[in-house]
Amino acid sequence: MSKRLRDKPSSSLASVQKRQFSPGGGGYEGQQAYSEEQEDARRVADHYSARSNQTFEERENSPIVHLKKLNNWIKSVLVQLYARPGDRVLDLACGKGGDLLKWDKAKAGYYVGVDIAEGSIKDCMARYNGDTYQQRWKKFSFPARLICADCYETRLDQYLFDDAPFDICSCQFAMHYSWSTEARARQALANISALLRPGGTFIGTMPDANVIIKRLRETEAMEFGNSVYCITFGEEYAEKKFPASRPFGIKYKFHLEDAVDCPEWVVPFHLFKLLAEEYDLELVLMKNFHEFVNEYLQNPEFADLMGRRGPLGDGQQGQSTLSQDEWEVSYLYLAFVLRKRGPLPFQRRVSNANRGKTFLAEEDIEFLST
Ligand SMILES: C[S@@+](CC[C@H](N)C(=O)[O-])C[C@H]1O[C@@H](n2cnc3c(N)ncnc32)[C@H](O)[C@@H]1O
């Protein structure tokens, strides 16, 4: 039986900070269709939970195998650029632990992974224990703790108080799931800000709203895509207008072959930046994936990583590489880095002794109900 916590942290909407986001005097009130959002969050969780760990053959035969490799390369670059040995890592929406090896390579000191999907957290546990083909017998250098919770509704700052401050927080391909309501977006940023140390870094990847809206406007229909993806907007957006006064809850359906099939939300990046600033998180970097790839491929170390592990291969004849359709999908995403404001603490390191575990059983997974 998994450990289910009864003393649920205050996670209802009432507990979420109620300040309304109002740059320039506007306001985003009246956008909290709470039960619908909970249902959507559950739909997202069920979708990811149902996706089990792939075998090596399944992965290599995936129609988006090179896109997955490209995404991994981008995440590796972010981790290598911003993580330092001994860092305490908070991996929000950690999924099946696809980034564990990256944190190991960066010599992380302690790892806390949180995800809403129970199936994914269990897969993450198996990967951490070296029980999957990807990481067979692998022993990770850092102790870990895994939590099953809705990162955008739960007061993680209260729950993880004893583990804070974290040096780095990562939220890969998942921040947009917080943008269904203002309250959820705020709770996400409040958690990150409260758990990061001053000077700590928040790295992430998410869909690029500018590209998505541009693509939508370029077509006469309400959907667009190619052989590997399809994005569908509802008829309520038939005018293809997205007023700045209503930036939350702009839902579309995203289908990506062999990866995603669930609702997602548009995140207007300039508003994400403004909202993050309210939580003392300052923008350091934002790049569309195409720009990111072109820039960091100039770095010999990252170019070498791309050659060894990446989607472009090492140029050997006959080797398949990223297709045009996969490259188009990557244009739908951006990478960002934010830094927590405030004076750097005098003593940066706190001991990680007695934190987490080096082998996790199902009983060790912590469930935070909302
Ligand atoms: C595309 S996957 C990315 C997983 C992982 N970050 C990676 O890059 O491999 C998106 C993840 O976000 C998680 N997720 C979505 N909404 C969430 C929420 N409200 N709280 C926690 N995790 C969430 C899903 O369960 C899924 O594991």
Contacts of 251 (CB under 8 A, 6+ apart): 40, 180, 234, 263, 264, 265
Is 174 close to ligand 1, i.e. is its CB under 6 Å away?
A: yes
Amino acid at 82: Y
CB 88 within 8 A of CB 165: yes
Q: Which two tokens stand for residue 201?
A: 């870094």
Widest CA span in the chain:
60
Q: Answer whether 172 contacts ligand 1 (Cβ < 6 A).
A: yes
Residue 115 Cβ inside 6 Å of ligand 1? The answer reads: yes
Q: Which residue has the tokens 């583990």?
A: 163
- What is the C-alpha to C-alpha distance for residues 338 and 195, in angstroms, rounded to an integer? 14
Residues 128-170 have pLDDT tens digits of: 999 876 666 778 989 999 999 999 999 999 999 999 999 999 9
Residue 345 carries which DSSP code?
A: P
DSSP string, 130-179: T-SSTTTT---SS-EEEEES-TTTS-HHHHTGGGPPEEEEEEES-GGGGT
CA 49 to chain centre: 15
pTM for this one?
0.89
Extended strands (E) in the chain: 3-4, 88-92, 110-115, 144-148, 166-172, 196-207, 223-225, 229-233, 251-256, 260-265, 281-288, 333-340, 366-367
- 269-278 and 182-195 are packed helices; what angle lies between their axes, rounded to 10 degrees? 50
320 Cα: distance to centroid of ligand 1 (angstroms):
29
| DSSP 3-state of 108 | coil
- Domains, the chain, with CATH or none: 3-9+36-207+268-312+320-344+357-367 (3.40.50.150)
> What pLDDT, on the 0 to 100 scale, is given for residue 119?
94
Ligand 1 pocket mutation pick from 11, 16, 40, 48 by most atoms within 8 angstroms of CB: 48
Say if CB 135 and CB 127 are below 8 A apart.
yes
Q: Check pocket membership of 254 for ligand 1, CB cut-off 6 A.
A: no
Using alpha carbons, select from 251, 76, 254 the residue that is nearest to residue 170: 76
Q: Report how far residue 272's alpha carbon sits from residue 335's, in angstroms, rounded to the nearest whole number.
A: 13
Main-chain dihedrals φ then ψ at residue 200, nearest 5 degrees: -70, 160
> What's the rounded Cα separation, in Å, for the pair 105 and 107?
5
How far is the C-alpha of 132 from the C-alpha of 124, rounded, in Å?
A: 10
Cβ–ligand 1 distance for 48 under 6 Å, the answer yes
Q: Is 120 in the pocket of ligand 1 (CB under 6 A)?
A: yes
- Which residues of the chain are modeled with pLDDT < 70? 1-35, 133-136, 309-310, 313-319, 345-350, 370
Q: Which atom of ligand 1 lies closest to the CA of 150?
A: 20
Atom of ligand 1 nearest to the CA of 205: 8
**CA 26–ligand 1 middle distance (angstroms):** 31
Ligand 1 centroid–CA 81 distance in Å is 22
Cα of 314 from ligand 1 centre, angstroms: 31
Residues 6+ apart with CB under 8 A from 293: 70, 73, 74, 330
Give residues with Cβ within 8 angstroms of 232, minimum separation 6: 222, 223, 252, 253, 255
pLDDT tens track for 40-63: 898 999 889 888 777 777 878 888
Atom index in ligand 1 nearest the CA of residue 95 equals 27
